[in-house]
Structure 1
Amino acid sequence: MTETLVPGIGGAAITAGARVVDHPAWPALKAAVEEIRPWQSKDGSIDFEAEGAPAPSVAQDAVIRVIAAVEELSPLLPHATAYHQALVSDLRKWAETGFRVPDFLDSLLAFQPAAERADGLQHLVVFPMYTQNGNPDRNLEAVALKMVWPEWLAELERTRYDNPLFLGITFEDFTAGYDTNSAVLFPETIAVREAPERFTWGGIFCDREAARFRKVTEAAVETLGMELPADIAAMITDQERCEKAFVLWDMVHDRTHSHGDLPFDPFMIKQRQPFWMYGLEELRCDLTAFKEAVKLQAEGNEHGRDVQYAVLFDRMFRFPLTGDRVRNYDGLGGQLLFAYLHKHDVVRWTDNKLRIDWERAPQITNQLCGEIEDLYRAGIDRPKLVHWFKAYELVSTYLAPHPGSKWAKGPDALDLTQPPRKLVDDVLPDEFPLSMFFEALAKKLKGVIASTKGITARTEETQQKAEAAA
Structure 2
Amino acid sequence: MTENVSSVSVGTDVLSEEPVVAHPAWGRLKAAVEEIRPAQSKDGSVDFEAEGAPAPEALHAALRRVVAAVEELSPLLPHDAAYHAALVADLDRWAEDGFGVPDFLDSLLAFQPAQQRADGLQHLVVFPMYTQNGNPDRNLEAVVLRMVWPEWLAELERTRYDNPLFCGITFEDFTSGYDTHSAVLFPETIAVREAPERFGWGGIFCDREAARFRRVVAAACEVTSLELPEDARELLADQDRCQQTFVLWDMVHDRTHSHGDLPFDPFMIKQRQPFWMYGLEELRCDLTAFHEGVKLEADGYPQGRDVQYAMLLERLFRFPVTGERRRNYDGLGGQLLFAYLHQHDALRWTDNRLAIDWDLARRTTVRLREEIEHLYRAGIDRPKVVHWFKGYELVSRHLAPHPGSTWAKGPEALDLTLPPRKLVDEVLPDEFPLSMFYEALAKKLKSVIASTEGITARTPARAAA
Q: TM-score range by the shorter chain?
A: over 0.9
TM-score, length basis structure 2: 0.96
**Structure 1: how far apart are the matches of 2:385 and 2:331?**
23
For 2:385 and 2:359, locate their aligned partners in 1 and report how far apart those are by CA, in whole Å: 38
Deviation at 1:15, TM superposition (A): 11
Describe the superposition over 1:145-166 as per-residue Cα deviations: whole angstroms up to 9, x where unpaired.
Answer: 0000000000000000000000
| Alignment partner of 1:88 is 2:82 | no
- Shifted more, 263-272 versus 292-301: the winner is 263-272
- Counterpart residue number, 2:158: 158
Deviations 1:368-422 (A, max 9, x none): 1111000000000000000000000000000000000000000011111111100
Q: CA deviation at 1:52?
A: 1.1
**Secondary structure, aligned partner of 1:359:** helix
CA distance in 1, matches of 2:359, 2:159: 29
Cα distance between partner residues in 1 of 2:15 and 2:208: 28
Correspondence for 2:296:
296
Q: 5+ residue gaps in structure 1?
A: 1-13
Q: Which residue of 2 aligns with 1:283?
A: 283
Report the alpha carbon displacement of residue 426 of structure 1 after superposing the two structures with TM: 0.3
> How far did 1:142 drift?
0.1
1:221 Cα deviation (Å)? 0.5
Moved segments of 4+, more than 4 Å: none
Q: Please give the alpha-carbon distance, in whole angstroms, between the structure 2 residues aligned to 1:457 and 1:52.
A: 37
* Partner-residue secondary structure (3-state), 2:403: coil
Q: Distance in 1 between matches of 2:359 and 2:392?
A: 30
Q: Does the alignment pair 1:241 with 2:241?
A: yes
Correspondences of 1:344-383 after superposition (within 5 Å) = 344-383=344-383
SS at match of 1:169: strand
Tell me the equivalent position of 2:333.
333
User: 2:203 is paired with a residue of what secondary structure?
Assistant: strand
Asked if the contact 1:181–1:454 (Cα under 8 Å) also holds between the matched residues in 2, the reply is yes
**Partners of 1:367 and 1:272 in 2: how far apart?**
28
> Are the equivalent residues in 1 in contact too, given 2:181–2:452 (CA < 8 A)?
yes
The answer for the alignment partner of 1:311 in structure 2 is: 311
Kept in 2: contact 1:16–1:76 (CA 8 A): no
Give aligned pairs, total: 451
Take 2:25 and 2:249, find their aligned partners in 1: how far apart are those partners?
A: 35
1:131 corresponds to: 131
Read off the aligned partner of 2:335 and give its amino acid letter: Q
Amino acid at match of 1:167: C
Q: SS of 1:349's equivalent?
A: strand
Matched, 1:193 2:193: yes
Aligned residue in 2 for 1:8: none
Q: 2:6 is matched with which residue? A: none
Report the alpha carbon displacement of residue 264 of structure 1 after superposing the two structures with TM: 3.1
RMSD: 1.2
Structure 2: distance between partners of 1:89 and 1:18: 26
CA–CA distance in structure 2, aligned partners of residues 442 and 98 of structure 1: 46
SS at match of 1:152: helix
CA contact (8 A) 1:399 1:432 kept: yes
Once the two structures are superposed, residues 273-317 of structure 1 have per-residue CA deviations (whole angstroms, 9 ceiling, x without a partner) of 000010001100111000000110111111011000100010010
Contact 1:16 1:75 in 2 (8 A): no
The alignment partner of 1:457 has SS state of coil
Question: Normalising by structure 1, what TM-score?
Answer: 0.95
Question: Which whole-Å CA distance do the structure 2 matches of 1:219 and 1:367 have between them?
Answer: 29
Q: Which residue does 1:397 correspond to in 2?
A: 397
Unaligned ranges ≥5, structure 2: 1-13
**CA–CA separation in structure 2 for the residues paired with 1:258 and 1:313:** 25
1:59 is aligned to 2:59: yes
Q: Does 1:259 align with 2:262?
A: no
Q: Mark the CA change 1:15 to 1:407 in structure 2 (over 3 Å): closer, same or farther.
A: closer
- How far 1:228 moved relative to its partner? 1.0
Q: CA separation in 2, counterparts of 1:357 and 1:299?
A: 23
Counterpart-to-counterpart distance in 2, 1:301 and 1:15: 27
SS at match of 1:303: helix
Give, as a single letter, the amino acid of the residue that structure 1 aligns with 2:226: M
Task: Map Cα deviations across residues 18-57 of structure 1 (whole Å, 9 max, x no partner).
Answer: 1000000001000000000000000000000001111111
User: What code does the residue aligned with 1:237 have?
Assistant: A
Aligned equivalent of 1:427: 427
Q: Which amino acid aligns with 1:128?
A: P
The equivalent residue for 2:77 is 77
Q: Which residue number corresponds to residue 29 of structure 2? A: 29
| 8 A contact 2:15–2:121 mirrored in 1 | no
Match of 1:116 in 2: 116
Cα offsets for 1:332-358 (capped at 9, x unmatched): 000000000001000000011000001
TM-superposed CA distance for 1:16, in Å, is 7.3
Partner of 2:3: none
Q: Secondary structure at the match of 2:68?
A: helix
What is the CA-CA distance between 1:270 and the residue it aligns to?
A: 2.0
Residues 15 and 76 in structure 1, CA contact (< 8 A), matched pair in contact too: no
Cα distance in 2 for partners of 1:127, 1:16 equals 26
Q: Does the CA contact (< 8 Å) of 1:295 and 1:304 recur in 2?
A: yes
Classify 1:184/1:23 alpha carbon distance in 2 versus 1 (closer, same or farther; 3 Å).
Answer: same
Asked whether the equivalents of residues 293 and 304 of structure 2 are also in contact (C-alpha less than 8 Å), the reply is yes
Q: Cα deviation per residue 1:45-90 (whole Å; 9 max; x = unaligned)?
A: 0000001111111110010000000001001100000000000000
Q: Does 1:441 align with 2:441?
A: yes
Deviations 1:230-265 (A, max 9, x none): 111111010000001000000000010100000231
Whole-angstrom distance in 1 between the partners of 2:354 and 2:208? 27
Specify the alignment match of 1:9 in structure 2.
none
